[in-house]
Chains A and B, each alone.
Chain A
Amino acid sequence: MYQDGNALAGPLTEIFAVDMTSAESVCAGCGRAGAVASLRVYWHAGDAVVRCPGCEQVVFRLVRLENRLCLEVTGLRRLTFS
């Protein structure tokens, strides 16, 4: 099962100064727009794979490596903050 983007609110404060889960993201695959909070989060040993609820494509991944935190954004077209 998956959780949703709300669960990333804490981890994403390690990178961003503003709340990222309220930002609107646009999927690079299908163009669906919606809050980061509404994306699907699959956890794999502490790493988060975040998928689009519209097309299931990976939007971004949050990966922890030793003392580094890596955000891979291959499936993200745009982020809008309001």
Chain B
Amino acid sequence: MKWRVATVVESRAETATARTLVLDVPDWPGHLGGQHVDLRLTADDGYSVQRSYSLASPDRVEIAVQRVDDGEVSPYLTDVFAVGDAIELRGPVGGWFVWRPAATEPVLLVAGGSGIVPLMAMIRARRAAGSKVPFRLIYSVRTPEEIFYADELRRPDPGVDVSYVFSRKAPEGARRPVKRIGLADVTTHGWPPDFQPSCFVCGPTGFVETVADLLVAVGHDPSRVKTERFG
């Protein structure tokens, strides 16, 4: 697959440390919720680095970049990269961690931090397709300030249930104690295994391991638990 030149057409803060970027890519072929793109940055001396970013929207090339302070790429993308700037892009890629609008089984989405991005693409793809398939999203974040797509998730589409797991600080009045995701979260807010849902889990490696193990332990078929880990 060829590298193409993409141009930033929109840039907005998603949280204090994350930015949403919308890119214009000529002749974009379209994509499925869950697919991603590779971005490549090349320095004047020829040194180049690549990173993968999940697409956040079903109909445009939108990504979200979480700033990693000592990162090689993300501080550039969040702090320097602006509307009108160009970057090399390859995609869409990945055909396994995807939700297809023709699917009929219930869906459980479990996000850890910026792992929400490809899962948000699936929620938006469901809306775009007019699908009535029931979705449940369990979204684990450290603090309420770190929620991506907060306004959109506050008013979820009919048939999409959203619940939060706060691991460091909860909003006032929250009943769930502040702690990492556990068995009770998955059994209370997920689907019973008998419903044979498709499960998509995305987040940091440790988070994904924990959640995938919990889902299989309560009886979900391992072949229905799809995971995407980032380092």
- Residue positions of A touching B, CB distance < 8 A: 1-7, 9-11, 13-14, 19, 21-22, 35-38, 43
Bound complex: CA A3 to CA B229 (Å): 5
Question: 14 pairs across A/B with beta carbons < 8 Å?
Answer: A2-B231, A6-B94, A6-B96, A6-B97, A9-B94, A9-B95, A10-B36, A10-B37, A11-B38, A19-B94, A19-B96, A22-B96, A37-B94, A37-B226
Contact at A21–B96, with CB atoms within 8 Å?
yes
Q: How many interface contacts (CB-CB < 8 Å) are there between A and B?
A: 62
Contact at A35–B96, with CB atoms within 8 Å?
yes
Bound complex: CA A70 to CA B122 (Å): 34
Bound complex: CA A21 to CA B95 (Å): 7
- Residue positions of B touching A, CB distance < 8 A: 1, 36-38, 50, 52, 90-91, 93-97, 205-206, 226-231
Contact at B96–A13, with CB atoms within 8 Å?
no
- B48 CB to nearest chain A CB (Å): 9
Would you call the interface of chain A mostly helix, strand, loop, or mixed?
A: mixed
- B23 CB to nearest chain A CB (Å): 15
Contact at B227–A4, with CB atoms within 8 Å?
yes
Contact at A2–B205, with CB atoms within 8 Å?
yes
Q: Which residues of B contact A36 (CB under 8 A)?
A: 96
Question: What are the 10 A-B residue pairs with the smallest beta carbon separation, nearest first?
Answer: A19-B95, A9-B93, A10-B38, A37-B96, A13-B1, A9-B94, A22-B95, A22-B96, A10-B93, A4-B229
Contact at A21–B94, with CB atoms within 8 Å?
yes
Q: Which residues of B contact A4 (CB under 8 A)?
A: 227-229
Nearest chain A residue, comparing its CB with the CB of B2: A13
- A13 CB to nearest chain B CB (Å): 4
- B190 CB to nearest chain A CB (Å): 20
Q: Which residues of A contact B227 (CB under 8 A)?
A: 4, 38
Given contacts A9-B95, A19-B95, 12 further A-B contacts (CB under 8 A): A1-B205, A1-B206, A2-B231, A3-B205, A6-B36, A9-B93, A10-B90, A10-B93, A19-B93, A19-B96, A21-B94, A38-B96
